Amino acid sequence: MQDRLLIGQCLFYDADPRYAGPDGLRPSTRGAVLIRDGKIAATGEADDLRRAHPQADVTDHGDHLILPGFVDAHAHYPQTAIIASWGKRLIDWLNTYTFPEETRFNDTAYAAEIAATYFDLILANGTTTVASYATIHPASVDAYFTEAQRRGLRALAGKTCMDRNAPDGLRDTAESAYDDSKALLEKWHGQGRLSYVITPRFSPTSTPGQLSALGALWAEHPDCLMQTHLSEQVDEVAWVRDLYPEARDYLDTYEAHGLLGPNGLYGHAIYLEPREIDRLAEVGAALVHCPTSNTFIGSGLFDMGLADRMRVGLATDTGGGSSFSMLRTMAAAYEIGQLRGNALHPSELIWRATAGSAEALHLGDRIGSLKLGIEADLCVLDLASTPAIAQRAARATDIWEAVFPTIMMGDDRAIAQVYVAGDPL
């Protein structure tokens, strides 16, 4: 296949800006990315790469900013159709909107339809990899992976397991959760760009027996990721305390059942006790920050300072989250940071929405940065996509001032192009 050379403004991923400062993402006003066989084969200045690769097929994106595709580390694709449902907090929101909608995924055709809509929406928003929850129905996992595979995407998902505190038609058992998850894992994990993720929804909707069964499955497949929710709302934490009186804290309900480890992804993690933070850091687990969800459902303010101690990904948490856009998600992360006295620099926001999430998913060596050997899933941003953004960006004196208005006010209109494994959509 012919080499492809993309020219534009670029941010080259040298180091995590949290530690290296903004120049960890090194800007180039006229940079280039050479794509060969679906991967990044070179990065550098446009003139240099043009000279070195005269045969390459050139696409000049002008002033647009070439970035890695966004990586959404936690979403619920089955909640696509109930996004932006009004007026409930977590447990009521689950019972009123989420569970009835997820019940519909026993219909395979409906699952396929929503999976297609979901991938259309996230790609339009520049997201090229997502780790999603499915529903309890194995066919909902098949629908998601089939659609991702058809589009050549790197994607992660698992069957959501629940054997209590969920309505009829939306409960499995400890045994069927184990058996179905195992069968899906064997069918999909490592198929091309797909990864299976063991997925107990959260402690309130699993019996200790189900958590143990899934812990046993994880012990048999330690290379798999495991995703769940942790300490999202105060009422939920109190409910967990009632349901698991013997547990030291919320995290302990997972830890006691073999569901704490370096491949664990813990969504939300707002109300953590010191012991929980220490244990998560000690085992090398990852947290996932879902800022539009945390404001929309009224959950609370995540402490991004935790990123000093462990990997932290960024995510939409669709449809508890109020947007499919990682730009909107970065804006919400910035606002939550401000409310906690921690103004996240644009370099850190972009890093967190790409490389940071990729690292949370243990995929930092494959996706999420503009670096040699990384898969060429890319997103090209128009930094003047609306009149309001354009007039502010026109005043910018450096790349960070130029990109911040798009972070704060941008949406799918800012996504000029998306490349999946080197091919433009």
Nearer of residues 90 and 416 to Zn ion, judged by Cβ: 90
Using CB under 5 A, which residues numbered 30 to 89 contact Zn ion? Answer: none
Is residue 344 a contact partner of residue 307, using CB atoms and an 8 Å limit?
A: no
Nearer of residues 43 and 227 to ligand GUN, judged by Cβ: 227
Question: Which stretch in 145-153, 253-261, 262-270, 340-348 sits in contact with Zn ion by CB under 5 A?
Answer: 262-270
| 161 interface partner picked from ligand GUN, Zn ion, none, CB below 5 to 8 A per type | none
| 337 interface partner picked from ligand GUN, Zn ion, none, CB below 5 to 8 A per type | none
- 130 vs 313: CA distance, rounded Å: 11
- 306 vs 222: CA distance, rounded Å: 25
> Minimum CB separation from ligand GUN for residue 340, in Å?
20
Could you count the other beta carbons within 10 Å of the beta carbon of residue 305?
12
> Minimum CB separation from Zn ion for residue 34, in Å?
37
Question: Which stretch in 12-20, 115-123, 313-321, 389-397 sits in contact with Zn ion by CB under 5 A?
Answer: 313-321
| 32 interface partner picked from ligand GUN, Zn ion, none, CB below 5 to 8 A per type | none
> Minimum CB separation from ligand GUN for residue 150, in Å?
25
| Three-state secondary-structure class, residue 157 | strand
> Count of residues binding Zn ion (CB under 5 A)?
2
Question: Which stretch in 143-151, 264-272, 349-357, 406-414 sits in contact with Zn ion by CB under 5 A?
Answer: 264-272
Nearer of residues 9 and 181 to Zn ion, judged by Cβ: 181
Alpha-carbon distances of 340 from 176, 305, 333, 334, rounded to whole Å: 43, 10, 11, 10
Nearer of residues 27 and 320 to ligand GUN, judged by Cβ: 320
> Minimum CB separation from ligand GUN for residue 326, in Å?
17
| 202 interface partner picked from Zn ion, ligand GUN, none, CB below 5 to 8 A per type | ligand GUN
Nearer of residues 4 and 76 to ligand GUN, judged by Cβ: 76
Secondary structure of 94-156 in HEC code, one letter for each residue: HHHHHHHHHHHHHCHHHHHHHHHHHHHHHHHCCEEEEEEECCCCHHHHHHHHHHHHHCCCEEE
- Which residue carries 């027996």 as its tokens? 209
- Single out the residue of 417, 411, 409 nearest to residue 391, CA to CA: 409
User: Which tokens belong to 13?
Assistant: 């991923």
| Three-state secondary-structure class, residue 47 | helix
> Minimum CB separation from ligand GUN for residue 160, in Å?
8
In the shown chain, the binding pattern of residues 265 to 294 toward Zn ion, with x for contact by CB under 5 A and - for none, equals --x---------------------------
Out of 172, 180, 317, 411, which residue is the one contacting Zn ion (CB under 5 A)?
317
Alpha-carbon distances of 405 from 331, 401, 411, rounded to whole Å: 10, 7, 11
Say whether residue 180 binds Zn ion (CB under 5 A).
no
Could you count the other beta carbons within 10 Å of the beta carbon of residue 330?
26
Nearer of residues 137 and 345 to Zn ion, judged by Cβ: 137
Alpha-carbon distances of 56 from 12, 63, 66, 190, 372, rounded to whole Å: 20, 20, 18, 31, 17
Residue ranges in contact with ligand GUN by CB under 6 A: 76, 90, 94, 98, 201-202, 229, 232, 293, 297, 317, 320
| 201 interface partner picked from ligand GUN, Zn ion, none, CB below 5 to 8 A per type | ligand GUN
Nearer of residues 13 and 244 to ligand GUN, judged by Cβ: 244
Is residue 42 a contact partner of residue 34, using CB atoms and an 8 Å limit?
A: yes
Nearer of residues 76 and 352 to ligand GUN, judged by Cβ: 76
- 61 vs 285: CA distance, rounded Å: 38
How many residues belong to the chain? 425
Nearer of residues 46 and 121 to Zn ion, judged by Cβ: 121
| 232 interface partner picked from ligand GUN, Zn ion, none, CB below 5 to 8 A per type | ligand GUN
> Minimum CB separation from ligand GUN for residue 202, in Å?
4
Chain residue whose CB lies nearest Zn ion: 317
Q: Rg of the chain over CA atoms, in angstroms?
A: 21
Is residue 85 a contact partner of residue 321, using CB atoms and an 8 Å limit?
A: no
Is residue 205 a contact partner of residue 163, using CB atoms and an 8 Å limit?
A: yes
Which residues bind to Zn ion, rule: CB under 5 A? 267, 317
